[in-house]
Every structure is written in C-alpha cells, then in structure tokens.
Amino acid sequence: MTSTEAGPTIESQIGRAVTGPTALGVDPKRFWHLAWTLATTEFKLRFFGSVLGYFWQLMRPLLLFAIVYAVFVGILNTGADQPMFGVALLLGIVVFQFFADSTGASIRSLIQRENLVRKIDFPRAAIPVSCVLQATFNFGLNLIPVFIFLFAAGGRFYWRWFELPLILAMLIVFVTGLSLLLSALFVSFRDVEPIWEVVSQALFYGTPILYPLSLVIDKVGLSAAQIMLANPLAAAIQQLRHAVVDPAYQSPGQIFGSTAGVLIPVGITVLIFVVGALYFRRMTPQIAERL
Amino acid sequence: MPEQTSSAPAVVVSDVSKTFLVPKEQVHTLKERALHPWRRSANHEFQALKNVSFEVNSGGFFGIVGRNGSGKSTLLKCLAGIYAADSGSITIDGRVSTFIELGVGFNPDLAARDNVAINAAMLGLSKREARRRFDAVIDFAELQDFTELKLKNYSSGMLVRLAFAVMIEVDADVLLIDEVLAVGDAAFKQKCFDEFERIRASKRTVLLVTHDMGAVQRFCDKAILLEHGQLVASGDPQLVGDSYLDLNFSDSARARVASGAGGTASSESFGDGRAVIEAIWFELQSGETATTLPNGSRATFTMQVRFTDRVQNPVFSVTLRNSSGIPLLSASSAWGTERSGSFRRDQTVLWKASFDNPLGPDRYTVSPSVTLEGGAVLALTEKMSTVVVTRSEPTGTLVDIPFEQELQRDLPLSLEQELQA
C-alpha cells in the first residue's frame, strides 16, 4: 500500500498497458458499432443529400445493363440459348458492381480518413469494413430491380433460393479480405490503385458476366471454365444464376464434376480473407505514421 | 483508502522511446519494389523520444512542454495509442480520451446529431451510452434547437461550443489535450481556460501539451520539459516554464553565435570609432552574471567601454527591445544630474544601469551606445546581445508598471451626494 513509491510495483497495480493502435479493438460489438455508424452516415450523406440520390445509384448498373444488353444480346446474340439471359446479365453486373464498389472505395479509405487515423485511437479495420458495409447496402438496393426483372421475365420463387444468403456471405467475406489487403497495401504502395483498376477491369471480362459460362465450355473447353470458376467472384455469380435465375445455368459443382470442386473458390476466398486480415493487422501500428 | 487512490499514479510512462524511419529514398510503389526487390532503401533514423519516464498522479493536471519538434506531440500520440512506442511501457488507469484537435472528424455535411454519434462510436461508446451522451453534449453546448442542422450552417461560435462539449462530455478518467489553445482568438482562449478550470475542479487527470507557458503555470500542478526527445526538466510548472523560456531564447542566441562571428550576426555596429563597446552583461543583485532575469527583482546592466581618443562628456545608454521590436526600457547617463566628464585615450570604463525589472517574459535585444551630447555617435551596436526575462505572475502585459491602489468607501454624506448629483 505504499502508493507514493514509484516503480514496477505500482505499474502492475494500475490500469492497462497502452501498446498502440489495433485492427479490431477489444470489443467486437464496439468495432461493429463503429463500422456500422461510419457506413450508415456515409450512406445517408449520399442519398439524403440529393433527391435523385437513390435514383442515380440504381441508374448506374441499369444503364450499363441496357448498353450491354443492346450490344451483346441484341446485336451479338450472346446467350440466346440461355433462359432469361437478360436477368442473368443484370445479376452479374450488380454483383460485379458490389465487388468494384467496395474494393475501389477501400483502397483509399485509410487515406481519406487520415484526419481520424492520425488523431484518434480506434480499431483501424473499421474503416475498410465500413466501406464494404456501405457497398453492401448499395448492393441490397441494386438487387431489388434484379428481382423485379426476374419476376417480370417469369421467374419463380423456389427452394434453391435458400442458397442465396450463403453465396452472398461468401462473396462478402471475399470482398472484405480483398478490401483489407488493398487498403493496407495502399499505405505503403501508392501504385496499388492504378494496378487494381487494371486488375478489376480484367476480372470484369474474365468473369462470366457478359457471356454465359456455357459459351466458354463450347468455344474453349471445360477446363477453361473450371479455371475461371476458381475465381470466387465467378463462382458466386455462376452459383447465383444457377440457384436464383434458372437451374439450367450449370452450378460450379456441376462444372467441376463434383460438389467438392466448390471447395476451390471457397478455399481461395478463405485464403484471401486470412491473408488480407493478417497483413492488415501487421500494418496497423504503422498506418498512422506512414500515411 | 481514498487518499491512496487519489495519490496513486493514473499514468505511468517508463523508458519510452520512439524512432521514426525516414527513408532517404522513398520506395512508394510496387513497381519499384518489384524492379529492385533486394535494394534496401537507406533509412534516416529520427529519434523522436529517448527513454522518457514520468508519472502523473490521479486527478493531476500535468503539462508537457517543449519546442516544436521536441517530441511532445509524439509522446501524446503514444499515450493516446495512435503510435506504438518502440520500447518502454505506458500504463494508463481508466478510460482515455484524446483531443489532438478540436472537433476532429467532424463532417460539415452532417447534422450535429450524426457527428456526435460518429464521435461517440470512435471513442468506443456503445449505442446506449452514446444516446445518453448525446443529450449531455447538446445541453452543454446549448444547441438544443440545432441538433438537425448541418454543421456547415453553424456559426463558428456554435461549432466551437459543440466541439468543446464533445470533448468535455466524455466519461473519461484521463484526458489528453494537445495545443487546443494554439488556435482561436482571445475570447476562445478564455472559453478554453474556463473549461480547464471546470475540468480541474472535476478531479479528472489531464495531460496538456502546449507552448503556452501562461496556461501551464496557471493550471498545471506538475510539468515536464522535452528537448530533442529527452526529458530535460520536470516538476514544478514554474521552474519548468522558466527553463523552457531559457532554453528557447538562449538556444536561439547560441544559434546566432554559431552562424556569425562573435555572436553579432544580426547586430549592426555604427560610430566613428572613438569608443569601443567591448562587452556588455547583466548582473543580478547577488552580483552574479545572468542571461535570464526574473521579473520583479533588481538587475544591473553593465557595459565595458574603451576610448580610443580623448572624449568630453560622452553619454552612455542602452535600449532593450522585446521580440516584437518594441523598445521597453531605455536607460541613459544623459538623464543623470552631472555630466560624465572627460576621458583619456585608451581609458577603459564600466557604465552600470540598475533597475527593478518590470519587464514581461520575453527575449529582449540589448542595444548599447556611446554618443556625444550633440548627437555624434562614438559607438552603437544594435542588438549586441539578448537577455531573457521570466515572470511568475501571468499578467499578460508587456511591462509591470508599479501602482498603488486604494478603495474609498464610507464617504462623508455631503461628498456622496455631491458625486451622485
């Protein structure tokens, strides 16, 4: 009880050690609360700022869809043999938009919130995660017209839709891992952004969005389709088309030849998430210093 | 027990060091990394903190003082958990709240409600705590009618009130405050000071990083002084404040010596050369030479002059100007009752001028001169040296003019009626 004496005895008596910033903080609930607050306020800013906010948000994928539909379906006659290819096309575009939105927003997110990062101690990962969350909100909104088109084209609710949350969960895990990785990489390497733009452009064409996967199987071969499906984004889109639009779209399981084949894109998803999370955690203490 | 908890340290910093690697060549792109994977970029190490140790008692108001680049902000960021210290340990008892800037993270496009919510989430408050805090913040800031107004439409006064309320209404045991006082006008500063009084009264532990010696001496019960990342003084804020001024001004004087010959880099000499001012210095009452003069005590200026020719009735004088260049003290032998008489060639004399130092804390330039009554300049050296004045009472004035005061009451009835009429 010699409280006036300095030294290690007292150190052990009092409070917690301050060791520097962390990625997740101590309380997952608080982390989530922070990410949620950041995402919802950004979301509000975007949509309540202007009357046409939500309208424009919808118009982006819809306009792209209209153009792509006119060119590929109308002129080139792609996917004519596929059931409801228009809906499948829109679904692909909306999923890709989610992917591009969250990764694109996360890359610069730490720099954009530099002011906060350098002045307040809070769980750093909340920033890229809030970008993914915000993109998820938009994704949810963009899915509404997809389902409207689906029902308009004669789609029906059926039992396979239960897969939907699973597929979306995998997609979100994949995108979150990438966002963590990219945002942390950008702190040290500023050319990550242009590189990523090119990569995502390549992914857009390298993923069966504009064309049905059956076209790849017919023109190039089964193994090419299998390689494409190792990409979690492609696997998610294909599985969504299979489960939600029409079972005539072969599921990745069917193309790999067994359901176990699905483990490849799922494994890659997990790998990317783990790598992204670990790299982000490693970089966390340095973010404030290197921005 | 309560006594022990109040005297127990709330913050213990032991042996904390922090080094920043400043790359000489910035490898900032993946391309460079890919092209030269084995090239290690040469790093220039900058040690911002060197083995800093101190303790802050619970409920204490603790000042961290230092010049620009002394490492005080780095120290605060380490305490706040924004930077990770390289070595040593920091232990803090209780919830910490950091204020490196007023209203950090405020988004002008959002209403006060949303901004306060974000701020609460950043501080790690739960939803329920945040809701409770929101009312307290708005009450404190007296902005009940403006909670839905976007911040960009706030007046600057309202903004400051909100920012301050957000800072004050935190259920934190330890507050880390950086340079908030450096910005804003006098009214704002006053508001800050009022808040500090309130915080101090609330018995929370405060660590204040600042340049403002007045604030340190007014609020802090302990302080430390950092210089080049090292702790050079600690303890009584009065003494720390004095050594800060000393360090600040003597160091700039030293720098001037280093940059020019004989310490007169910025000084200019005039005169026909019939007299040479060989040296000047200040003495305290005790007789010891000093470069720092405490306000209120007696000081003596001495100038050593050698005449190179026969001179009749020269006038010795000295002018002290503050850092803004305003002359505040001028002493001259011309105002004495008798003339100085005649001096022979190669005679060396000392001229002394003593005064009860009324000067405010600052660095003063000293310009001595020897002239003739008609105005001819024998020797004049502008800014020959500098002297620092320290003061304990922060009156805020340039000089302390001695005054007497009295209060007259119980006036004779007739006089009171006369005054009222």
**SS3 of B307, please?**
strand
For residue A70, pLDDT over 90 is answered with no
- Which residue's structure tokens are 């500023």? A190
Domain that holds residue A118: 20-290
Q: What is the pLDDT of residue A172?
A: 96
Is the CB of residue B93 less than 8 Å away from at least one CB of chain A? Answer: yes
Q: CA–CA separation, A70 vs A67, rounded Å?
A: 5
Q: Is residue A215 part of a domain?
A: yes
Task: Give φ, ψ of B8 to 5 degrees.
Answer: -70, 145
The bridge status of strand B61-66 relative to strand B327-332 is unpaired
Q: How far is CA A48 from the centre of its chain?
A: 24
Cα B174 to Cα B91: distance, rounded to the nearest angstrom: 12
Whether pLDDT at A3 is above 50: no
Instruction: Answer whether residue A92 is part of any domain.
Output: yes
3-state DSSP percent of chain B in helix, strand and coil, to 5 = 30, 35, 35
CB contact under 8 A, A30 and B124: yes
Query: How confident is the model at residue A121, as a pLDDT?
Result: 83
Nearest Cα residue in chain B from A119:
B100
Given this model, what pLDDT does residue A291 score?
72
Query: In chain B, which residues have their Cβ closer than 8 Å to the Cβ of A18?
Result: 78-81, 90-92, 96
Distance from CA of A68 to the nearest CA of B (A): 34
What was the ipTM of the complex prediction? 0.75
Confidence of residue A166 (pLDDT cuts 50, 70, 90): very high
| Mean residue pLDDT across chain A | 85
Domain membership flag for residue A9? no
Residue A171 lies in a domain: yes
Report the gap between the CA of B211 and the closest CA in chain A (Å). Answer: 19
Q: How far is A218 from chain B (nearest CA, A)?
A: 38
A·B CB contacts under 8 A: 139
Confidence of residue A9 (pLDDT cuts 50, 70, 90): very low
Written as six digits, the tokens of B158 are 């309202």
Domain boundaries, chain B: 2-15+56-247, 262-390
Residue A43: what pLDDT?
Answer: 83
End-to-end alpha-carbon separation of chain B, Å? Answer: 64
Nearest to B125 by CA among B165, B83, B172: B172
Q: Does B25 touch chain A (CB under 8 A)?
A: no
Query: Smallest CA–CA separation between B16 and chain A, in Å?
Result: 11
For chain B, which ranges sit under pLDDT 70? 1-7, 23-28, 37-42, 179-189, 248-267, 393-395
Helix (H, G, I), strand (E, B) or coil at B311: strand
Residue A210 CB partners (closer than 8 Å, separation 6+) = A68, A72, A78, A89, A92
Closest CA to A287 of A185, A200, A143: A185
Strands ordered across the beta sheet of B205-210: B96-99, B174-178, B205-210, B61-66, B222-227, B230-235
Angle at B182 between CA B177 and CA B188, to 5 degrees: 90
- B92, A15: Cβ pair inside 8 Å? yes
Residues 155-194 of A with CB under 8 A from B: 185, 188-192
Host H or E run for residue A5: none
Q: Rounding to the nearest 10 degrees, give the CA dihedral for residues B214, B216, B221, B224.
A: -140
Mean pLDDT of A279-285: 90
Of B373, B365, B384, B352, nearest in space to B276 by CA: B384
Tell me whether residues B78 and A192 touch, CB distance under 8 A: no
How far is the alpha carbon of A92 from chain B, nearest alpha carbon, in Å?
A: 31
Q: How confident is the model at residue A1 (pLDDT cuts 50, 70, 90)?
A: very low
Per DSSP, B150 falls in state B
* CA–CA separation, A139 and A147 (whole Å): 13
- Best residue of A11, A43, A120, A188 to probe chain B, by most B CBs closer than 10 Å: A120
CB contact under 8 A, A38 and B105: no
CA dist A113 and A131 (Å) reads 12
DSSP H or E stretch at residue B319: strand B314-321
The token pair at B25 is: 């060549």
Q: Which CATH number fits domain B2-15+56-247: 3.40.50.10420, 3.40.50.300, 3.30.70.270, 1.20.1600.10?
A: 3.40.50.300
Residue A116 and residue B30: Cα distance in Å, rounded? 26
Residue A119 placed within a domain: yes
Q: How many CB atoms lie within 10 A of CB B28?
A: 15
Residue B23: predicted pLDDT: 66
d(CA B6, CA B288): 43
pLDDT at A4 over 50: no
* Residues from chain A contacting residue B29 (CB–CB below 8 Å): 189-191
Yes or no, beta carbons of B89 and A45 under 8 Å apart: no
Nearest to A120 among B33, B107, B122 (CB): B122
Q: Which residues of A touch B125 (CB under 8 A)?
A: 30
Residue A173 pLDDT more than 90? Answer: yes
Only one residue has tokens 């006594």, namely: B3
Length of chain B: 421
Q: In CATH, what is the architecture of B262-390?
A: Distorted Sandwich (2.70)
Strands, E assignment, B76-229 = 87-92, 96-99, 174-178, 205-210, 222-227
Residue B407, phi then psi, degrees to nearest 5:
-115, 120
Look at residue A158 and tell me whether its pLDDT is greater than 50. Answer: yes
Q: Is residue A5 part of a domain?
A: no
A2 touches chain B (CB under 8 A): no
Question: Is B30–A192 a contact, with Cβ atoms under 8 angstroms apart?
Answer: yes
Mean local confidence (pLDDT), A163-190 = 93
Q: CA of B328, closest CA in chain A: separation in Å?
A: 42
**Amino acid in position A214:** S
CB B225 within 8 A of CB B245: no
Q: Please, which residues 121-150 of chain B have a Cβ atom closer than 8 Å to chain A?
A: 121-127
- Chain A within 8 Å of B101 (Cβ-Cβ)? yes
List, for residues A187-216, the tens digit of each pLDDT value: 888 889 999 999 999 999 999 998 888 888
pLDDT band of residue A91 (cuts 50, 70, 90) is: very high
Q: Which alpha helices (DSSP H) does A241-262 contain, by range?
A: 252-256
To test the contact with chain B by mutation, choose from A1, A3, A10, A42 the residue with the greatest count of B C-beta atoms within 10 A, namely: A3
Query: Mind telling me how many Å the CA of B303 is from chain A's nearest CA?
Result: 50
The residue to which tokens 């008892």 are assigned: B93
Residue B3: per-residue pLDDT: 38
Report the DSSP beta bridge partners of residue B318. B331, B368
Q: State the pLDDT at residue B1.
A: 33
Report phi then psi at B274, rounded to 5: -75, -15
Task: Count CB neighbours of B66 within 10 A.
Answer: 26
| Inter-chain touch A122–B122, beta carbons under 8 Å | yes
pLDDT band (50, 70, 90) for residue A54: confident
pTM: 0.71
Topology agreement, domain B2-15+56-247 and domain B262-390: no
**Strand extents, DSSP E, chain A:** 16-17
Split into its structural domains, chain A has a count of 1
Chain A nearest C-alpha distance from B262 (Å): 42
Tell me the pLDDT band of A177, cut-offs 50, 70 and 90.
very high
Q: What is the pLDDT of residue A128?
A: 94
A3–B77 CB contact, under 8 Å? no
Pair of tokens at residue A168: 């979306």
Distance CA A156, CA A281 (A): 44
For B387, residues 6+ apart whose C-beta sits below 8 A from its C-beta are B282, B291, B292, B293, B320, B363, B364, B366
- Contact list in A for residue B177 (CB cut-off 8 A) is none
Task: For B40-75, give the DSSP string.
Answer: PPPEEEEEEEEEEEEEEETT-EEEEEE-TTSSHHHH
